[in-house]
Amino acid sequence: FSEAIAHPDGLAVLGVFLQAGTESHDELEKIVSLIPQVALRNQTAEITNSIDPTNLLPEDVTYWTYHGSLTTPPCSECVTWIMFKNPLEVSEKQLNAFRSMRTWTPEECC
């Protein structure tokens, strides 16, 4: 990672928009089920179920691309962003699981 961020094209990041729907997304649920273990910074979890990344992409894989930066410190401008135009439909419960994640612990807050 430290070597990659030293280059203007060192990292590629895939971005997928999530849209609330009526059904849970099965592949995403493998990740969502781990969120309670990693909801706060520096927590870890072991992935025991195999995850097929292609199942986390929308059916229509048209995309936009642009050069930008990391979204968290050190915010290095070394990222080629690939943003899929069409959202992946997931349940409201799955969206809320991601919304529960924090980059700070309760002791650090305010």
Over residues 26-83, the pLDDT tens digits come to 999 999 999 989 887 788 999 998 999 999 999 999 999 999 999 888 889 999 999 9
Q: How does residue 109 score in pLDDT terms, banded at 50, 70 and 90?
A: low
Parent domain of 35: 4-101
Domain membership of residue 46 (yes or no) is: yes
What total number of domains does the chain contain?
1
CATH number, position 63: 3.10.200.10
Q: How does residue 103 score in pLDDT terms, banded at 50, 70 and 90?
A: confident
Which residues, in sequence order, are CB contacts of 90 under 8 Å at separation 6+?
Answer: 18, 19, 20, 21, 24, 25, 28
Distance CA 42, CA 44 (A): 7
